[in-house]
Structure 1
Amino acid sequence: MALGLLATLALAGCGSTGDGGPSMGQTLTNLVFLNEANPPPAPPPTEARKDLYCPPVSVLPGTAAMSSYAGAEGDPMALRYQVSVGETARECVDLGAEVSIRVGVQGRVIAGPKGGGGASVDVPIRVVLVDRKDNPVYSNLTRVRATLPSGQTHQTFSHVEEGLTLPVPEGGLRGYRILVGFDSQGAQRRNMGRGS
């Protein structure tokens, strides 16, 4: 799997839709930071550790979108669906000698001419943490099921990566990066029993 940056995405910010509901980015931020899509009002803030650096989230080049065709690959009229990364978010929690990192990825499935409502799409999301020398210190592949509702041509999906805990390296996490993207080749290897 090639490692590198396509684009650095900012932490998903607050926002609202025209009807006053939460935006796609706000919903993801709520899932990452509060474990709920629509949380109750937050309690008064407590003083956070000011020197805890949380690595940025970037998208691996060539993995921001994924397409499936019913026929000739690359033929727009044969497109069944396209999946794309939308928003990302992350949270780092100081555990003393260790740091826990949660990473959120939200995206969208859009049906093509050969797709349609009711289709279920298997979305393979790869989350990688690399150190200052671009060596992976964590890599995990998760398959997320996204279903297009009947009568609709697009649907959002989200994934929150849990359990990324590691000892705090000397000098902290400055220079580390979190990389996300779609890994269809890794998903195929896992299907064949070769692991991720």
Structure 2
Amino acid sequence: MVGEGVAGRSTRALRAQDALKTIAAGQESPEQVRRALEQALVFAGAAFAAVYAPSADGELLCLVESVGVPRTLCEVRDSYPVAGRSPAAEAHRGGRPVWLGPKDLAAQARSRRVPSRDFFLAALPLRDGGCLLAVSERPGGFDADGRVCLLDLTLADGRLRPAVADASPRTPVEPAGFGREATGGRGVPLVEALSAAWGTLPGSGGKQVGAEFVLRR
């Protein structure tokens, strides 16, 4: 998650955002989804990117469009059960991005049908249902700018995305409970209750925590 302000955003992230705005400004066409996905290859460093949408009965996430290397090379399927344990299904159900590295994928390859080679995989929920699935073969996977580009692909206009950063790499967790006199521990529950989605990104030895808020007119 990142803030909507220009400050702190790299040239690559800004160029990706401009490209996506240009695509969105045009009339809808069968090529629009593909053109947007191609930005994931150019700006996020993905080797493969795809959009999945729920089937008519809501039981499956079905491939709508993909770009990059053949999906068979990434061991990516053309559909995933919505109730399953795949990263795509978890992102769709949970409404939060799923970021997995080679070790994570190796442990899950058999049970979740995800890439079993040295891939990095990202599954990001789409606002209207379904998910964006992206695979990187770069050493280290998706860097901070690459993750920003992928997040930009999944968001439509009408959302505010503030973020804060600190020097601790530790991911915030929701406390089991806290008393009325507690001086801390309320941040994560408040963000989770008030936002449409929230998450973290690594950066500069620490982390960035951000949330998405739907703007209502």
In terms of fraction of residues, the more strand-rich structure is 1
TM-score of the alignment, normalized to the shorter chain, above 0.5:
no
- If the TM-score is normalised by the length of the shorter chain, which range does it land in? under 0.3
Normalised TM-score (structure 1): 0.25
In terms of fraction of residues, the more helix-rich structure is 2
Normalised TM-score (structure 2): 0.23
